[in-house]
Amino acid sequence: MKHPKFGPFLLALALFGILLFMPVQYLFPLISDDKVEQAATSLDTDMFQGTAIQKKMLQDHKYLPLYGSSELSRLDIYHPSNYFKINPEGFTPYLIGRGGTQSLVHFLSLAATSNEIKNQRIVFILSPQWFIKEGLDDAHFSPNFSTLQAYDFVFNSNLTPKMKKKAAKRLLKFEVVRQDKLLTTMLEGLVHDDFIRTCKAGVMKPFAYTYKNVLERKDIVTTLTNGKKRKPNTDASLKGLSLEQLSAHAEQTGARESRSNTFGIVDKYYHHKVAPKLSELKGYKAMESYDKSPEYEDLQMILDLLKQNNTKALFVSIPVNGPWYDYAEFPKERRYVYYQKIRHFIEKDGFPVADFSAHEYDTYFMKDTIHIGWKGWVYMNESLKQFHHITN
């Protein structure tokens, strides 16, 4: 009778255990520089919900991470990712975010890369519509939530207990988080000091840690197999133009692409999203305000994290489309309360603000009702250049 041979099985099990529990950074060399460059403009969900490729990117100081939301996808010829291919300034924009990506989502991403953002340069783009009274809701948080980054947050020793408690309490407000019973147990252990929940978190800690490791390995595999590549949208005629020339060029483009309306909204968006219900939209923002919102506390966590890591951050304050907001009856006075508050809110912690609030009536500065475009990108590119030269 042949005896069963357990040697190969045990060897495979040992190798699996080593792969599962070895420090994940040892696997980073598998990610090529081409993969990182490809991801810089991909706006791929797996990229910004993962951690590996962001950590790899932050090790290369040629990249300037731009954290934002849906404006990042407005990739016209003036967009930083396209403009700086024609007019290189020594850095490559790396886009992190998509629609609905607000401060809490970016906090998890920044916390997961807290070692890598130490003394690093980043740009953070703020949108006024984030700061509604209700704050971030499940509909916008859920599709952008990263389970991997949440588990990484639980085990992140670089964050202060106070910061972890505050963030964990905030995360537990969202249904997508509460549906994960293991994650909920770990977060409740951070929030509450009572014996039962602390013990539950302690018992579940090895399982949560193992699951985090599995998610990290899955992230590596996804990064290596993701082949999404975006073709640049560049215009060689922008090479070497002055700020005034670029602004005039962008104004001509905006005029050509928004002929259908007086709000400076790009025609395609206007025809599909605005024109069919224009009369219904009259005064629809009359009761809105951006001066009180849970978003401010979420943003404060980001400011605290960046200060802790001595991160050099430029915050960009995007305006609204003035003519459109007038039509929507959101008063100028209320808008300017927000502009002033957000600027003071950030500057109190020592970070510079590229404040574009004076441009809300600047024709073709905005591409639609809320997104920067055309001339807006021209001015942002100038701010990015200045920030790069000051901090380089």
**CATH code of the domain covering residue 61:** 3.40.50.1110
**Residues in a beta bridge with 241:** none
Banded model confidence at residue 109, pLDDT cuts 50, 70, 90: very high
The per-residue pLDDT for 11 is 41
Angle at which helix 147-154 crosses helix 195-225, to 10 degrees, equals 130
Check: pTM over 0.85? Answer yes or no: yes
The per-residue pLDDT for 193 is 86
Angle at which helix 103-112 crosses helix 147-154, to 10 degrees, equals 60
Tokens of 158: 């670089």
The per-residue pLDDT for 25 is 74
Where in the sequence is the domain holding 353, given as residue range(s)? 32-145+237-391
Query: When comparing pLDDT for 140 and 23, which is higher?
Result: 140
378 inside domain: yes
pLDDT tens digit sequence for 30-48? 889 999 999 999 999 988 9
Please, what's the b/e burial string for 116-147 (b: 16 or more CB within 10 A of its CB; e: otherwise)?
A: bbeebbbbbbbbbbbbbeebbeeebbeebbbb
379 inside domain: yes
Q: How many domains does the chain have?
A: 1
**% of the chain residues with pLDDT over 90:** 87
173 inside domain: no
Is there a contact between 336 and 354 (Cβ–Cβ < 8 Å)? no
13 inside domain: no
213 inside domain: no
Q: Helices in the chain by DSSP H: which ranges? A: 7-21, 33-39, 45-49, 52-58, 80-86, 103-112, 138-141, 147-154, 161-171, 175-178, 181-191, 195-225, 243-257, 267-269, 278-281, 295-308, 322-327, 332-347, 375-391
pLDDT tens digit sequence for 320-367? 999 999 999 999 999 999 999 999 999 999 999 999 999 999 999 999
358 inside domain: yes
* Average pLDDT rounded to a whole number, residues 177-182: 98
Q: CB-side exposure of 12: number of CA atoms within 13 Å?
A: 5
The per-residue pLDDT for 228 is 73
314 inside domain: yes
pLDDT tens digit sequence for 229-284? 788 999 999 999 999 999 999 999 999 999 999 999 999 999 999 999 999 999 99
41 inside domain: yes
CA angle 314, 291, 167 (to 5 degrees): 65
Q: In angstroms, rounded to a whole number, what is the distance separating the alpha carbons of residues 199 and 266?
A: 56
